[in-house]
Chain A
Amino acid sequence: MTTRIVELRRGILKKNDELAAGLRANYAAAGVLVLNLVSSPGTGKTAFLERTLRELRAKGARVAALVGDLETDNDARRLASSGAPVRQINTHGICHLDAEMIGKHIDGWEGVTLGGLDYLFIENVGNLVCPSSYDLGEKIRVALLSVTEGEDKPLKYPTLFNSADAAVITKMDIAEPCGFDRETALKNINEIRPGIRIFETSAKTGAGMEEWLGYLANKRADSREIA
Chain B
Amino acid sequence: MHELSIVSSVVETVSESLAAYPGARVLEVRLRVGALASVVTESLEFCYGIASEGTPLEGSRLVVSVLPVVMHCEACKEDVELDGVQSFRCTRCGEPCSEMRQGRELEIESIEIDEMNEVEVKS
A interface list, Cβ under 8 A from B: 1-15, 94-96, 127, 129-130, 132-133, 155, 158-160, 162-163, 190-195
Contact = CB atoms under 8 A, between A and B. Distances in A.
Say what secondary structure dominates the interface of chain B.
mixed
Contacts of B9: 12-13, 15
A8 B17 contact: yes
Contact of A162 (B2, B88, B108): B88
A132 B38 contact: yes
A163 B104 CA distance: 9
Nearest to B12: A15
B13 to A, nearest CB: 5
A191 B86 CA distance: 7
B86 to A, nearest CB: 6
B1 A12 contact: no
Given A133-B106, A162-B36, A191-B87, 6 more contacts: A2-B116, A3-B112, A9-B110, A11-B107, A13-B6, A192-B87
Contacts of A195: 96, 98
24 contacts: A3-B113, A4-B21, A4-B112, A6-B112, A8-B17, A8-B110, A9-B109, A10-B17, A11-B107, A12-B6, A12-B13, A13-B6, A95-B1, A96-B2, A129-B1, A132-B38, A133-B6, A158-B36, A191-B87, A191-B96, A192-B86, A193-B88, A194-B89, A194-B97
Contacts of B106: 11-13, 133
Given A1-B116, A15-B9, A8 B98 contact: no
A192 B104 CA distance: 14
A10 B114 CA distance: 20
B110 A129 contact: no
Contacts of A9: 107-110
Interface in B76-113: 85-89, 96-98, 100, 104, 106-113
B38 to A, nearest CB: 4
Contacts of A162: 36, 85, 88, 100
A94 B5 contact: yes
Contacts of A95: 1-2
User: In this complex, which of A8, A127, A159 has the most chain B Cβ atoms within 10 angstroms of its Cβ?
Assistant: A8
A188 to B, nearest CB: 9
B14 interface: yes
B70 interface: no
A2 B114 contact: yes
Contacts of B111: 5-6, 8
A107 B37 CA distance: 30
Contacts of A4: 21, 112-113, 115
A8 B17 CA distance: 8
Across the A-B interface, the 9 shortest Cβ-Cβ residue pairs: A194-B96, A130-B2, A159-B38, A158-B85, A2-B115, A12-B106, A8-B108, A159-B36, A10-B108
